[in-house]
Amino acid sequence: MDRIPHRPAWLPIAALYLAALVNAHHLAWWSLPVLLLATAWHLRAALFGLAQPGRAARLGFAALVTLGVLLSFRTLNGISAGATLLVAMTAAKLFEARANRDWYVICGATLFLLLAACLDRQQLWRLPLYALCLLLCLGALRGLSGGAPVPVATQLRESARQLLYALPLAVLCFLFFPRLPGAFWSLNAGDEAISGLGDEMSPGRIARLSESDEPALRARFDGPPPPAAQRYWRGPVLHDFDGYTWRRHHGGAPPAGALDYRGPAYHYSERLEPNAHGTVVALEMSQPPDTPYVSMSADFQLLSRRPSLEARSYELTAYPQATMGGELPPAARQMDLELPPGRNPRAREFAQRLRAQAPDPAAYLSSVYAFLRDGGFVYTLVPQPLGRDSVDELLFGTREGFCGHYASAFVDLMRAAGIPARVVTGYQGGEWNPIGRYLLVRQRDAHAWAEVWLDGRGWLRADPTAVVAPERLQRDLLQFGDGLGNGAARLLGSSRWLTGFLQAWDAANAWWQDDVVGFNAARQHGLAGRMGFGDRDWQTLTITLAAGLCTWLAWIAWSLRRLARAARPDALARGWRQVDRRLARAGFPRASHEGVLAYCDRLELNQPAAAAALRPLARRYAQLRYGPPAGNAAQREFLLAARAYRLRLARPAA
């Protein structure tokens, strides 16, 4: 194998580094330093002509990095462990990269790393990085393909042209290659944490979410969205309380009333980001979607039997004014009246005193609302820490907190007075994006409220935060200045053009996730239907794909027609071709591989007279074609001689 020059090696090295960087979020921490070390060693050897490490050293290095992957991930399976091992082994290959074959292996490993990054992350902002990495890798392969050395700029330009030629085919296959329902492959997310609500709520949990700008869901409505006061997005419902933390009831909630759908309906499509609690967070009260793996629980949660490791889309209908009535079974009543013994004694005594003064549960509810409204309570996301009796300390000590504090204290007061109550977590509000025309709910919109049971009226939503800080339900969270967010977030919130830019970027991201990443079999059949195909099955898609492929091939052939068309011969060549045709008709054809003088030598063996007549003309042609440049007069003289020879050859023998 020929050793490639040092300069073209920069392209495959640059492509390898970019592929490693787009995988950096899931690589072992030591893999990139190892790659840097191997690159430095290779460049040192290439620049100064030093020897590369021996075979034993390279094998020892490969064994060492394999052991490092096992220690870091406890396995060699999975996308993170596999990508780390591939980076480490490619670094080992740099220690022996001498010939074209070695660089071909490195380019192949780079393409596999790029594939790993594409499978793991599909965000829109990564697309230019993926395209640049592919361009660098193709440019490197172009430089390794042999022939005369080509400048790097030419390699990249030719590679970009090849990508542009391939782009229509990629779009065609993306749109019309028949897709199977569901995911073609599934990647294990491992132990990666998912930001969002969970199965439990403690003071501080929602405060941390409120500082996160990550999207939780996007909802597109057929008509106008519901008003801000009705934008409650129901998530996990919490029943069990230990005095500090609320948790889901692990045994499953017993039947607790029935839904009566009434009032205006909101039809909407929702794209829900991955979550760790398995709940389809949806607008209250939404009917279950028409999918077999989503059902409604007894406490009106939409539960998914599929793991929520990727964003999913749902078609839903919500009735925010629906009532949760019926009869409350004794088991459900008992579950939502339980309180931990010996915890928060002041709150229990206070609740019992208020309840004794109230004629009915509704009046008691109003008394608690009045206490929260007039008691000097403050809404803040940086409250003082609470101890073992968190409700007592909040109500009679600090008097400051956020929605989680007030929902917890409110339900505790309800249960202490003998009124069944529970905590509901989810999101409240949402930001309307006028460009994408959807409602964006972020993690910072995380919210907690309460539901109380009143006999004859059923479950009623009770939001103590709306009493303490009613503006919380109407304003963007960035307007609460005490400890919320950072200076950059405040700047973005106060700048109109930055807000518009962020909305446009989020709309582009939503389009990318919904229409590109989320393009599945159902959307493919919908596209075929919009194009007017009556039978929207795989056969129709296959025929469409075949027709598009033929069109693409015709376009490629038309685009490359100048390369396929041979150059028009000059006058000298045309003159000799006419002689060739006349000789062929006379029975003396010249082979395509023969030069004119070699042809004369062969012709002399069988037709010495014809060869003797042709040789002066052949010598003159060879001199004009391959000798020093001659003038136009000499060329005209040759063309006249060739014409005279053709005429003599065409004249029948006497």
Catalytic residues: 403, 447, 463
Nearest-angstrom CA–CA distance, 610 and 608: 6
Backbone angles phi, psi at 526, to 5 degrees: -65, -40
SS3 312: strand
End-to-end CA distance of the chain: 64
- The answer to whether residues 286 and 226 touch, using CB atoms and an 8 Å cutoff, is no
How many CA within 13 A on the CB side of residue 85? 17
Strand partners, 438: 433
Cβ contacts of residue 475 below 8 Å, gap of 6+? Answer: none
Q: Are 582 and 650 in contact (CB under 8 A)?
A: yes
Q: Of 433, 468, 477, 475, which Cα lies nearest the Cα of 449?
A: 468
Rounded Cα–Cα distance for residues 218 and 268 (Å): 10
| Cα separation, 123 vs 215, whole angstroms | 13
| Closest to 283 measured CA to CA, from 227, 338, 329, 352 | 227
Q: Is residue 370 classed as helix, strand or coil in its secondary structure?
A: helix
Task: Decide: 238 and 411 in contact? Cβ < 8 Å.
Answer: no
The first and second tokens of residue 292, run together, are: 């077999």
Give phi and psi for 251, each to the nearest 5: -80, 0
Residue 46: count of CB within 10 angstroms of its CB:
18
- Structure tokens of 617? 């003309």
- Name the residue among 315, 324, 217 with its Cα closest to residue 271: 217
Angle, helices 127-143/100-120, rounded to nearest 10 degrees: 170
In the Cβ-directed half-sphere of 174, how many Cα atoms lie within 13 Å?
Answer: 11
- Vertex 549, ends 545 and 555: CA angle to 5°? 145
